């Protein structure tokens, strides 16, 4: 499967054009608030296979400078590319997927990303909130589909919360690290009244119990054929 890349805007100097997005902007629609808040938190690269419910997000990616959207022809390519980007750069990538079936098409590589502890902000569009009760052909339990491969799952409930939910997702993706899935209903994407949120700090990793380290060392010493399974974050860590 070939991946076609489209630079909708030239990449500005700096990590993500943060000087432009950190300004106090009020009255944005939910999609632009979400994308600008992600940019302020350092997420500037998107691997996308969008549909109709994500058009406001696509428009936001087109309007905001300093972002790098990459159009992928299959959701599995988008999620696999985001996993690879996170592993190689040590920075979170974003995906943009269409409803529950689009998310389902990308699950295998999100599973791999979860196992590799790759930082991904997985954005999924949903039907308008008032449309869900009609049970359209692509209606599904998006949170339920996302939960097995995600360390964080949230559906935006109010347009004013879109930016805040976005920065929480970035912090969650960096903290675990892992896949943070954020679901944006279409009507909240196009509604106005949102703003850019300030980035949240990731949670520092917990200290490992010294007794657990000692027990592990003893097990390795006593093993006949010891083996270690280590994640990519271990290989990237400085001694």
The proportion of the chain whose per-residue pLDDT surpasses 70, expressed as a percent, equals: 84
pLDDT exceeds cutoff 60 at 22: no
Instruction: State pTM to two decimals.
Output: 0.81
How is domain 3-194 classified at the CATH fold level?
Rossmann fold (3.40.50)
Helix, strand, coil % in the chain, rounded to nearest 5: 45, 20, 35
| Helix (H) or strand (E) segment spanning residue 221 | helix 210-222
Q: Is the pLDDT of residue 20 over 70?
A: no
pLDDT greater than 50 at residue 13: no
65: nearest Cα among 28, 36, 90: 36
What pLDDT, in 10s, does the model give residues 56-89? Answer: 999 999 999 999 999 999 999 999 999 999 999 9
- The pLDDT, as a whole number, for residue 157 is 97
């Amino acid at each position: 499967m070939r991946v076609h890349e489209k630079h909708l805007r030239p990449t500005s100097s700096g990590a993500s054009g943060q000087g432009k997005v950190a300004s106090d902007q009020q009255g944005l629609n939910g999609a632009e608030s979400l994308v600008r808040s992600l940019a302020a938190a350092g997420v500037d690269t998107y691997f996308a296979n969008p549909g109709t419910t994500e058009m406001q997000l696509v428009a936001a990616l087109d309007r905001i400078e300093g972002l790098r959207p990459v159009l992928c022809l299959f959701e599995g390519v988008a999620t696999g590319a985001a996993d690879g980007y996170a592993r190689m750069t040590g920075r979170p990538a974003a995906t943009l997927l269409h409803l529950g079936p689009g998310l389902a098409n990308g699950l295998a590589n999100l599973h791999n990303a979860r196992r590799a502890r790759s930082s991904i902000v997985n954005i999924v569009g949903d039907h308008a909130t008032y449309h869900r009760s009609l049970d359209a052909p692509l209606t599904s339990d998006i949170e339920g589909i996302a939960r097995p491969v995600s360390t964080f799952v949230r559906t935006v409930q109010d347009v004013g919360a879109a930016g805040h939910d976005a920065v929480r997702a970035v912090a969650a993706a960096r903290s675990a690290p892992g896949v943070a899935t954020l679901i944006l209903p279409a009507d909240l994407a196009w509604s106005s009244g949102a703003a850019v949120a300030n980035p949240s700090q990731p949670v520092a990793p917990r200290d490992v119990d010294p007794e657990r380290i000692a027990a592990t060392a003893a097990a390795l010493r006593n093993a006949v054929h010891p083996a270690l399974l280590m994640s990519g974050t271990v290989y990237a860590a400085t001694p």
